[in-house]
Amino acid sequence: MDVQPLLVLGTHAFAPEVLDLVSDMPGYRVDGFVENVDRARTEQPLEELPVYWIDEIAKFAVTHRAVCALGTTTRGLIIDQAAALGFGFETLVHPAARVSRRSELGEGTIVSAGVVIATRTKIGRHVIVNRGALIGHDVEVGDFVTISPGANIAGFCRIGDRAYVALGAVVVDRTSIGAEAVVGAGAVVTMDVPANVKVLGVPARIVGDPVAGR
Protein backbone atom coordinates (compact mmCIF):
# COMPACT_ATOMS: atom_id res chain seq x y z
CA MET A 1 0.00 0.00 0.00
CA ASP A 2 1.24 3.47 -0.87
CA VAL A 3 1.66 5.75 2.14
CA GLN A 4 0.93 9.48 1.96
CA PRO A 5 3.35 11.42 4.22
CA LEU A 6 1.83 14.34 6.12
CA LEU A 7 2.99 17.43 7.96
CA VAL A 8 0.75 18.58 10.81
CA LEU A 9 0.36 22.35 11.03
CA GLY A 10 0.45 23.38 14.69
CA THR A 11 2.27 22.25 17.82
CA HIS A 12 -0.26 22.74 20.61
CA ALA A 13 -2.69 20.39 22.36
CA PHE A 14 -4.62 19.20 19.32
CA ALA A 15 -1.50 18.32 17.30
CA PRO A 16 -0.65 15.09 19.21
CA GLU A 17 -4.31 14.11 18.94
CA VAL A 18 -4.16 14.41 15.16
CA LEU A 19 -1.00 12.30 15.19
CA ASP A 20 -2.88 9.68 17.20
CA LEU A 21 -5.82 9.73 14.78
CA VAL A 22 -3.51 9.26 11.82
CA SER A 23 -1.88 6.28 13.53
CA ASP A 24 -5.22 4.46 13.14
CA MET A 25 -5.50 5.29 9.43
CA PRO A 26 -3.76 2.99 6.94
CA GLY A 27 -2.13 4.86 4.10
CA TYR A 28 -0.91 7.87 6.07
CA ARG A 29 2.22 8.73 8.03
CA VAL A 30 3.03 11.92 9.98
CA ASP A 31 6.62 13.05 9.44
CA GLY A 32 6.60 16.18 11.59
CA PHE A 33 4.87 19.25 12.92
CA VAL A 34 5.02 22.88 11.79
CA GLU A 35 5.19 26.04 13.93
CA ASN A 36 4.64 29.61 12.70
CA VAL A 37 4.54 31.80 15.85
CA ASP A 38 7.12 30.75 18.45
CA ARG A 39 10.36 29.62 16.87
CA ALA A 40 11.58 28.26 20.22
CA ARG A 41 9.03 25.45 19.84
CA THR A 42 11.13 24.06 16.99
CA GLU A 43 14.07 23.40 19.30
CA GLN A 44 12.63 20.21 20.74
CA PRO A 45 10.81 17.32 19.04
CA LEU A 46 7.11 16.76 19.65
CA GLU A 47 6.00 13.17 20.16
CA GLU A 48 9.50 12.18 18.98
CA LEU A 49 8.97 13.91 15.64
CA PRO A 50 10.72 17.04 14.34
CA VAL A 51 9.10 20.47 14.58
CA TYR A 52 9.78 22.65 11.53
CA TRP A 53 9.59 26.41 11.23
CA ILE A 54 7.04 27.41 8.58
CA ASP A 55 9.67 28.98 6.29
CA GLU A 56 11.64 25.73 6.20
CA ILE A 57 8.98 23.37 4.82
CA ALA A 58 8.81 24.35 1.14
CA LYS A 59 11.11 21.44 0.29
CA PHE A 60 8.38 19.02 1.44
CA ALA A 61 5.59 20.44 -0.72
CA VAL A 62 6.17 18.00 -3.59
CA THR A 63 6.15 14.86 -1.45
CA HIS A 64 3.94 15.74 1.53
CA ARG A 65 0.45 17.03 2.15
CA ALA A 66 -0.61 19.12 5.13
CA VAL A 67 -3.40 19.04 7.68
CA CYS A 68 -4.02 21.73 10.29
CA ALA A 69 -4.22 20.81 13.96
CA LEU A 70 -4.97 24.21 15.47
CA GLY A 71 -8.25 24.08 17.35
CA THR A 72 -8.94 27.78 17.06
CA THR A 73 -10.99 29.06 14.13
CA THR A 74 -8.18 31.54 13.33
CA ARG A 75 -6.13 28.69 11.85
CA GLY A 76 -6.42 30.24 8.41
CA LEU A 77 -3.09 32.06 8.81
CA ILE A 78 -0.88 28.98 8.95
CA ILE A 79 -3.01 27.28 6.29
CA ASP A 80 -2.52 30.24 3.94
CA GLN A 81 1.22 30.19 4.64
CA ALA A 82 1.45 26.49 3.78
CA ALA A 83 -0.65 26.94 0.65
CA ALA A 84 1.65 29.76 -0.50
CA LEU A 85 4.56 27.32 -0.21
CA GLY A 86 2.81 24.90 -2.55
CA PHE A 87 1.18 22.46 -0.15
CA GLY A 88 -2.01 20.59 -0.84
CA PHE A 89 -4.24 19.58 2.07
CA GLU A 90 -5.46 16.15 3.06
CA THR A 91 -8.99 15.39 4.29
CA LEU A 92 -8.85 12.86 7.13
CA VAL A 93 -11.71 10.62 8.24
CA HIS A 94 -11.03 8.30 11.17
CA PRO A 95 -12.11 4.70 10.50
CA ALA A 96 -14.39 4.82 13.55
CA ALA A 97 -16.39 7.71 12.04
CA ARG A 98 -19.44 7.28 9.83
CA VAL A 99 -19.81 9.80 6.99
CA SER A 100 -22.66 9.39 4.53
CA ARG A 101 -21.54 8.74 0.97
CA ARG A 102 -24.07 11.36 -0.05
CA SER A 103 -22.33 14.05 1.96
CA GLU A 104 -19.30 16.19 1.06
CA LEU A 105 -16.14 17.08 2.99
CA GLY A 106 -13.93 20.02 2.05
CA GLU A 107 -10.16 19.85 1.75
CA GLY A 108 -8.18 19.79 4.97
CA THR A 109 -11.15 18.76 7.10
CA ILE A 110 -10.59 16.37 10.02
CA VAL A 111 -13.36 13.96 11.08
CA SER A 112 -12.43 12.30 14.38
CA ALA A 113 -13.39 9.00 15.99
CA GLY A 114 -17.04 8.44 16.82
CA VAL A 115 -18.35 11.20 14.55
CA VAL A 116 -21.55 10.62 12.57
CA ILE A 117 -22.36 12.84 9.57
CA ALA A 118 -25.73 12.13 8.03
CA THR A 119 -26.84 12.31 4.42
CA ARG A 120 -26.85 15.33 2.07
CA THR A 121 -24.63 17.38 4.38
CA LYS A 122 -21.86 19.64 3.14
CA ILE A 123 -18.82 20.32 5.33
CA GLY A 124 -16.49 23.15 4.27
CA ARG A 125 -12.72 23.44 4.10
CA HIS A 126 -10.42 22.97 7.11
CA VAL A 127 -13.25 22.07 9.48
CA ILE A 128 -12.52 20.15 12.69
CA VAL A 129 -15.28 17.71 13.65
CA ASN A 130 -14.03 16.39 16.96
CA ARG A 131 -14.69 13.17 18.88
CA GLY A 132 -18.24 11.91 19.02
CA ALA A 133 -19.84 14.93 17.36
CA LEU A 134 -23.13 14.33 15.52
CA ILE A 135 -24.16 16.27 12.42
CA GLY A 136 -27.60 15.67 10.95
CA HIS A 137 -28.86 15.53 7.41
CA ASP A 138 -29.00 18.49 5.00
CA VAL A 139 -26.62 20.60 7.09
CA GLU A 140 -24.22 23.18 5.65
CA VAL A 141 -21.03 23.88 7.60
CA GLY A 142 -18.77 26.70 6.42
CA ASP A 143 -14.98 26.90 6.26
CA PHE A 144 -12.68 26.87 9.32
CA VAL A 145 -15.49 25.80 11.67
CA THR A 146 -14.73 23.90 14.89
CA ILE A 147 -17.30 21.39 16.14
CA SER A 148 -16.16 20.18 19.53
CA PRO A 149 -16.49 16.74 21.16
CA GLY A 150 -20.04 15.60 21.75
CA ALA A 151 -21.71 18.51 19.97
CA ASN A 152 -25.02 17.60 18.29
CA ILE A 153 -26.17 19.57 15.25
CA ALA A 154 -29.62 18.60 14.00
CA GLY A 155 -30.89 18.52 10.42
CA PHE A 156 -31.20 21.48 8.04
CA CYS A 157 -28.87 23.70 10.13
CA ARG A 158 -26.45 26.27 8.74
CA ILE A 159 -23.10 26.96 10.45
CA GLY A 160 -21.22 30.03 9.20
CA ASP A 161 -17.51 30.34 8.47
CA ARG A 162 -15.18 30.26 11.50
CA ALA A 163 -17.98 29.52 13.94
CA TYR A 164 -17.08 27.55 17.08
CA VAL A 165 -19.50 25.02 18.58
CA ALA A 166 -18.15 23.99 21.98
CA LEU A 167 -18.22 20.77 23.97
CA GLY A 168 -21.63 19.11 24.21
CA ALA A 169 -23.58 21.96 22.64
CA VAL A 170 -26.89 21.19 20.92
CA VAL A 171 -28.17 23.03 17.85
CA VAL A 172 -31.80 22.18 17.12
CA ASP A 173 -33.07 21.57 13.61
CA ARG A 174 -33.42 24.36 11.01
CA THR A 175 -31.28 26.75 13.06
CA SER A 176 -28.47 28.97 11.76
CA ILE A 177 -25.22 29.93 13.52
CA GLY A 178 -23.64 33.10 12.12
CA ALA A 179 -20.07 33.45 10.95
CA GLU A 180 -17.48 33.69 13.76
CA ALA A 181 -20.10 33.08 16.44
CA VAL A 182 -19.29 30.93 19.49
CA VAL A 183 -21.77 28.48 20.98
CA GLY A 184 -20.61 27.77 24.54
CA ALA A 185 -20.23 24.36 26.14
CA GLY A 186 -23.54 22.67 26.90
CA ALA A 187 -25.61 25.41 25.28
CA VAL A 188 -28.88 24.50 23.56
CA VAL A 189 -29.49 26.68 20.52
CA THR A 190 -33.21 26.98 19.77
CA MET A 191 -33.16 30.07 17.55
CA ASP A 192 -30.81 31.62 15.01
CA VAL A 193 -27.52 33.01 16.34
CA PRO A 194 -26.17 36.21 14.70
CA ALA A 195 -22.61 36.50 13.47
CA ASN A 196 -19.83 37.56 15.85
CA VAL A 197 -21.57 36.84 19.15
CA LYS A 198 -21.17 34.32 21.95
CA VAL A 199 -24.17 32.39 23.29
CA LEU A 200 -24.51 30.32 26.46
CA GLY A 201 -27.21 28.55 28.42
CA VAL A 202 -30.39 26.53 28.01
CA PRO A 203 -31.87 27.91 25.90
CA ALA A 204 -28.85 29.75 24.53
CA ARG A 205 -28.74 33.54 24.93
CA ILE A 206 -26.24 36.13 23.72
CA VAL A 207 -23.73 36.96 26.45
CA GLY A 208 -21.12 38.99 24.56
CA ASP A 209 -18.51 38.88 21.82
CA PRO A 210 -16.83 35.58 20.95
CA VAL A 211 -13.16 36.43 21.56
CA ALA A 212 -12.89 34.86 25.02
CA GLY A 213 -14.59 31.71 23.86
CA ARG A 214 -11.94 30.48 21.43
Which are the catalytic amino acids?
Answer: 137
How far apart, in whole angstroms, are the C-alpha atoms of residue 162 and residue 166? 13
Residues 6 or more apart whose Cβ sits within 8 Å of residue 93: 99, 105, 111
Which is nearest to 71 in space by CA: 136, 120, 127, 143?
127
Helix H or strand E segment including 81 = helix 76-84
Instruction: With CA atoms as reference, report the closest residue to 214 among 197, 191, 201.
Output: 197
